[in-house]
Amino acid sequence: MAGTAVQPDQGEDFRARIISDPALVLDDKDVMRVLVSASERGMGNNIVDLRALAMERLEGRLERLEETHRAVIAAAYENLSGTNQIHRAILRMLDPTEFEGFLGNLGSEVAQILNVDAIRLVLESPEATPDPALERISDVLRVAQPGFIESYMSSARGPSSRQVVLRQTVPQAEELYGRLTPDLRSEACMRLDLGAQRMAGMLVMASEAPHMFKPGQGTDLLAFFAGIFERSMRRWLG
């Protein structure tokens, strides 16, 4: 079956379009590859076409640049999205006018905005015993013995002085997460400075997603969130 012949007028029109806008061909890698291959076949097998080699190298560099460009854009978008998420969580956290509402809001709406499965506020106290009154206020607040936070934020390598610790293995701390503990796969721990003459505090967020928090991720936004949280807590503690 014979192919469809190109009419002279169509050929001239196509040629005129290419001459007026060479980018139609030059920007199409597949078309350029076919043209170069046809040129090589016309030269014979004993001629090395340096232009083709140069083009291959340029194509490789262009692909790498495009990948880098996409990665930079994706990282910038992710950072902007994370910033907006933290800002929304902070604004919602500052809404309540009573401490009980503050804790309840932290474990519900703030946790939903941050897309985490559990948030806990840990305060150290020499009289750290189960308190039904605290449990009635919120399941977010936990009171622990002095030294608990330092031990909890430490790793197998020893104590950590960092304000924010990210990890993909959540210690089996039933006293923090209760029945949720077996399902949690990653965690962010934020050390809190609640002011002079006050014992240590810690805010922890945990997720069932193993890659939600992991070592190597940036911690600037979480450190910012922890700084705002510290100031809010100082207001509540008087």
Residue 44 domain flag: no
Residue 157 domain flag: yes
Give residue 63's pLDDT: 77
The band of 169, judged by pLDDT with boundaries at 50, 70 and 90, is: confident
Residue 179 domain flag: yes
Residue 212 domain flag: yes
- Asked whether 225 and 201 are in contact (CB, 8 A), the reply is no
Place of tokens 């978008």: 77
Q: Which residue has the higher pLDDT, 81 or 232?
A: 232
Task: Write the CATH number for 165.
Answer: 3.30.450.40
Give the global pTM.
0.65
Residues 6+ apart with CB under 8 A from 73: none
Give residue 1's pLDDT: 44
| Domain that residue 211 falls in | 97-237
- 119-155 burial code (b ≥16 CB/10 A, e <16): bbbbbbeeebeeeeeeeeebbbbbbbeeebbeebbee
Residue 13 domain flag: no
Residue 108 domain flag: yes
Residue 101 domain flag: yes
Residue 29 domain flag: no
Helices 29-43 and 50-93 cross at an angle (nearest 10°) of 170
Give residue 2's pLDDT: 46
Give residue 134's pLDDT: 57
Is residue 60 scored above 70 in pLDDT? yes
